[in-house]
Amino acid sequence: MDKNKLTRDYLPLVKSIVNKYKNYGLPPEDLEQEGLIGLLKAASKFDKNKGTKFSTYATYWIKKKILAAIDREKKSSLDSIKLTEESIETKEDKIKTSQNLKLPKNMPDLERKILRMLYEEQLTLKEIAQKLEISRERVRQLKEKALRRLRVTHPAAAGCEKVRKAATSSCMVKALRYNNLK
C-alpha cells in the first residue's frame, strides 16, 4: 500500500479514535502522530486473506499505539506520580504548633484521633497504626474519609479543591488552623 494514499484515506479514522483519548494528558497532535504510526504498523502487518476489513484491523493498532503513548506520558509525568503523605513533607507541616485543630463535632472519634495524631503530633501513618493497633491501610482509609468529611462540612477548605477532586491534606490543615486564628 502507498503510505500517502493510506494516510489520506484513513486519517478520518485516526482522528475519530484520537478524539476519544484527547483528555488523557497528551495534545491531540501527539496522539494523531501516534495513531498514524499505528496505522502504518497495521498496513505492514495486514493480511487480506484473514477475512477482516483493514479499518477494523487498523483500529486495533491505532488504539494500541495511542494507549502506549498515554501510558509512557503518565509514567514520566510528575503529575501522575502518586505522592504519599510520607514521601512529601513540607517544612510547614513539620512545625509543631500548640494550636489544636478545630474538627467538627459530628466526626467519629477514631477519625478525629487519627487527624490529631497525624497533624498535631506529626506521627506517620505507620506509627499511628502501631499505636491504635490497626493496619496502616486502615489508618490511611480513615484519614481519607475524615478529610473527605472536612471537605464537605468545612467551608474554608472548599477553596482548596482546585485540582481534580483531591485537595491536599496540608491544604486542609492550613484551612483548619486559619479558622482557629479568626
pLDDT digits (tens, 9 = 90+) for 2-58: 778 888 899 999 999 999 988 887 888 999 999 999 999 998 888 888 888 889 999
pLDDT at 68: 92
pLDDT at 154: 61
pLDDT at 104: 80
Tell me: the pLDDT tens digits for 65-120? 999 998 888 877 654 444 444 444 443 444 444 456 778 888 899 999 998 898 88
99 Ramachandran zone, left/alpha/beta (phi>0; psi -120 to 50):
beta
Q: Read off the pLDDT of each residue in 152-169 and give the average, rounded to a whole number.
A: 48
> What is the CATH number that goes with domain 91-181?
1.10.10
Amino acid identity for residue 139 in this structure: V
Between the alpha carbon of residue 47 and those of residues 42, 61, 81, 117, 181, the distances in Å are: 9, 14, 40, 64, 72
Options 1.20.120.1810, 1.10.1670.10, 3.90.550.10, 3.30.420.40; which CATH number does 3-76 get?
A: 1.20.120.1810
Distance separating alpha carbons of residues 141 and 164, to the nearest angstrom: 19
**Domain layout of the chain by residue ranges:** 3-76, 91-181
Distance separating alpha carbons of residues 115 and 94, to the nearest angstrom: 14
